[in-house]
C-alpha cells in the first residue's frame, strides 16, 4: 500500500499570504496524485487532478506541481473562504490512499 505523508498538519495563515502544502508518496506514483478541499460538514471537493491539472470551476489561485514522489499544492493569495482541510489522494495503485490532511486556518 502506498503511504502519502502530508506536511504540515496545520497551518495558520493571514489573508493574501501564499500557502504551500506538500505530499510525499512512499514510492513513485507518476502524476497519479489529486488534491481535494474539505470544509466542515461538507464532502471533499476536487481541486487539482493528475498533479497539476486544474479542475473545472476551481479558482486560479489553486495550483499543483510535482511528479514521482513529491507533490505540492499552492494557494496563492489566500482568501477567507479557503479555510479548510486539504487532502492528497493517489490513484496509481490499489488500494487508493489519502494523505492525512492539512488544516488551513485563517488568522
Partner 1 sequence: EVQLVQSGAEVKKPGESLRISCKGSGYSFTSYWITWVRQMPGKGLEWMGRIDPSDSYISYSPSFQGHVSISTDKSISTAYLQWNSLKASDTAMYYCARHRCSSASCENWFDPWGQGTLVTVSS
Which residues form the interface with partner 1 (CB under 8 A)? 1, 32, 34, 36, 38, 43-46, 49-50, 55, 87, 89, 91, 94-101
Q: How far is the CB of 74 from partner 1 (least distance, A)?
A: 18
Q: How far is the CB of 47 from partner 1 (least distance, A)?
A: 10
CA–CA separation, 5 and 77 (whole Å): 25
CA–CA separation, 52 and 72 (whole Å): 9
Nearer Cβ to partner 1, position 11 or 91?
Answer: 91
Nearer Cβ to partner 1, position 17 or 92?
Answer: 92
C-alpha cell of residue 30: 507518476
Nearer Cβ to partner 1, position 55 or 61?
Answer: 55
Nearer Cβ to partner 1, position 18 or 39?
Answer: 39
Q: How far is the CB of 17 from partner 1 (least distance, A)?
A: 24
Amino acid at each position: 500500500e502506498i503511504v502519502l505523508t502530508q506536511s504540515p498538519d496545520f497551518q495558520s495563515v493571514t489573508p493574501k499570504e501564499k500557502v504551500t502544502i506538500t505530499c510525499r508518496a512512499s514510492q513513485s506514483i507518476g502524476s497519479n496524485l489529486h488534491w481535494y478541499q474539505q470544509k466542515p460538514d461538507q464532502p471533499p471537493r476536487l481541486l487539482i487532478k493528475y498533479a497539476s491539472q486544474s479542475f473545472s470551476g476551481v479558482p486560479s489561485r489553486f495550483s499543483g506541481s510535482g511528479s514521482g514522489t513529491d507533490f505540492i499544492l499552492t494557494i496563492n493569495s489566500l482568501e477567507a473562504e479557503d479555510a479548510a482541510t486539504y487532502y492528497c489522494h493517489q490513484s496509481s495503485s490499489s488500494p487508493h490512499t489519502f494523505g492525512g490532511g492539512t488544516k488551513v486556518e485563517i488568522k
